Chains A and B, each alone.
Chain A
Amino acid sequence: MTTALSTTPGGLTTGRSTMTTTPTTARLGKITVRHFDFYYGEAKVLHGIDLDIPERQVTALIGPSGCGKSTFVRSINRMNDIIPEARGEGVIEIDGKNIYAGGTDVVELRRRVGMVFQKSNPFPKSIYDNVAYGLKIGGTRNKRALNDAVEKSLQRAALWEEVKDRLQESALALSGGQQQRLCIARALAVDPEILLMDEPASALDPIATTKIEELIWELKENYTIVIVTHNMQQAARVSDLTAFFMLGKVIEFGDTKKIFMNPREKMTEDYVTGRFG
């Protein structure tokens, strides 16, 4: 089995297959992962992950079920902290700062790193209150500021036109696809730099999925996006870079085109083509 490789993305360098076996603080991207291991109790599910996720690009994580994609994205905003007995070891840096260092303000971190879940999870509140929630708990009280942020976020999430006349209605009255875009708007409202998306479209029909994909494409102008997907076409359509995970390791990471057309590893090729049939 291949050792985990760290690669600079996007064909910037020639040495694409540089082996990185020791933690380094050299900044190669917005998110720098070095030798990251993760455990649920005794079970080790991530093994020495090394990745450099670039700013304002879409990075897709693909791989068979149970290979640790969710665990990995949930490590980037330390969402796994709320699972008892779970712990990460190693380094994940955002803008050069290790988020696993002692004294990290996790609340602050999560405001910078937004997250959208597989199943839409709106609060049983109005559409307006859902989007405004993050700002309100962040201390924004000014009505005007809240209104502006709600409108802007809903527009960015391509939902404004559909809901602008019923902002006080329950969010649970929206369709599945609308709910998922609402959750995206809710995440955008706190103005994060990074957006983590764990299979954001897997519960949606093709039309709603297309909407989300278009949205991702637009959002990458302003956000660094990491998206987990089981859908190969989707990864190929929306992402700039793709990381192929297997059994808790990164097998291959690089340009999405290259991963799909001309992967370096046999395993990657098998997985990618297997899915295409």
Chain B
Amino acid sequence: MGMFSNRRRSSDDGSFRVVTGAFAALVLLAVAGIGFELSRQSMLSIRRFGMSFWTGTTWDPVSGVFGALPFIWGTLYSSILALLIATPIALGIAIFISELSPRFLRQPLSYLTELLAAIPSIVYGLWGIFVLVPIVRKLELSAPDAIRKLALFKGPPLGVGMGTAALILAVMVIPFTSSVAREILKNVPTAQREAAYALGATRWEAIKVAIGYGKSGIIGSIMLGFGRALGETMAVTMVIGNNPQVTASLFAPQYTMAAVIANEFTEAADDLYLNALVEIGLVLFIITIAINALSRLLIWSMEKRSSRPMAIVPLLEEQPAQ
């Protein structure tokens, strides 16, 4: 009897593993397939420009010269800015909901932040154009000359530009980061908080313990937001100004990879132009995967540090004098 049930269980395990393994392989295959197809469709441009596609700053469809650096720059710069704005706010929201807010407010607040994530990005774009852009323009116009001279704030006071795009991206990223971070904090065992309280921790110190416990997950939530910002298209296109240039200025109109593909794909008349646009897609694909891999690595090394024995590090300066 025992043998039978054992056998059945192990064969269940086997088929379960095959099925889940097949799905995992399918995902890998899809990723590889996308990479392959993007490369194939951009062969013309890859052959023509080689690595200079990544570093070129000219994007001139008329004379057939294509360099993607301004778009790469625009995507990374806007995403990093958005991350800088969104992360503290998102974590603040997560901490408030999971640790500080009265119980009856928790559910409604959670739903509300998740609702923000469900709004289509074109709606954010419209909101950006009608609300955010005029506000930013007013700010730009009222900025004193001394500030306008700084590299960070040079450029025409249009309202559209890098700063506006970063703001709107931040708003779109916040719900993602905050709901994942909230879930992470919620899953921190009560025993961790109790251990802190039992040692005389204040509420804030106990919260810090919970954050420390969920550190790798919280970093994951931030990276999720980053990934979302990298790929965001519609809302950014509507407010960033769509002007390819590499500049630190927040007031200057710039461009992103996703935006240029969306804007120019339908009008790309010749093959090289089309191939160059697909190659931008390939670049975006590679950068996204690289950043995800890096963040995985970061989380993995942190988890390793906190849960497994490290190489023995002698406590040199910390060794008490005997």
Contacts and interface: CB of A to CB of B under 8 A. Distances in A.
B312 A121 contact: no
A84 B102 CA distance: 10
Interface string A120-161: 011111001000011001100001100110010000000000
A134 B199 contact: yes
B195 interface: yes
A173 B308 contact: yes
A148 B320 contact: yes
Contacts of B200: 107-108, 110-111, 134, 137-138, 190
B308 A114 contact: no
Interface residues of B, number: 33
B263 interface: no
A70 to B, nearest CB: 12
A124 B214 CA distance: 10
Contact of A110 (B192, B199, B213, B317): B199
A169 interface: yes
B159 to A, nearest CB: 47
Contacts of B199: 110-111, 114, 133-134, 137, 186-187, 190
A169 B312 contact: yes
A200 to B, nearest CB: 13
Interface string B91-115: 0000000000001000000000000
Interface string B187-208: 0010111111111111001000
Given A137-B199, A168-B315, A172-B307, A124 B212 contact: yes
Contact of A128 (B103, B195, B307, B318): B318
Given A107-B202, A151-B320, A170 B308 contact: yes
B305 interface: yes
Interface in A69-86: 77, 79, 82, 84
Nearest to A186: B199
Contact of A170 (B196, B198, B306, B319): B306
A215 interface: no
B197 A110 contact: yes
A168 B198 contact: no
A183 interface: yes
Interface centre among B193, B197, B309, B313 (most CB of A within 10 A): B197
A117 interface: yes
B209 interface: yes
A178 to B, nearest CB: 12
B62 interface: no
Nearest to A168: B313
Contacts of A183: 195
A168 B310 contact: yes
A35 to B, nearest CB: 26
Given A124-B212, A168-B313, A79 B306 contact: no
Interface residues of A, number: 39
Given A151-B320, A170-B305, A186-B199, A82 B194 contact: yes
Nearest to A84: B103
A137 B205 contact: yes
B186 to A, nearest CB: 15
B306 to A, nearest CB: 4
A57 B314 CA distance: 38
A205 interface: no
Contact of A117 (B194, B202, B306): B194
A56 to B, nearest CB: 21
A115 B199 CA distance: 8
Given A169-B312, A172-B306, A187-B198, A121 B320 contact: no
Nearest to B192: A121
Nearest to A83: B190
Interface string B288-308: 000000000000000001111
Contacts of B198: 77, 79, 110, 114-115, 117, 187
Given A166-B312, A170-B310, 16 more contacts: A110-B198, A117-B191, A121-B192, A121-B195, A122-B195, A123-B195, A124-B307, A134-B200, A137-B201, A137-B205, A169-B310, A169-B312, A170-B309, A172-B307, A183-B195, A187-B199
19 contacts: A79-B194, A82-B193, A107-B202, A117-B195, A121-B194, A123-B213, A124-B212, A124-B307, A138-B200, A143-B317, A144-B320, A147-B319, A148-B320, A166-B309, A168-B312, A168-B315, A170-B305, A170-B308, A172-B306
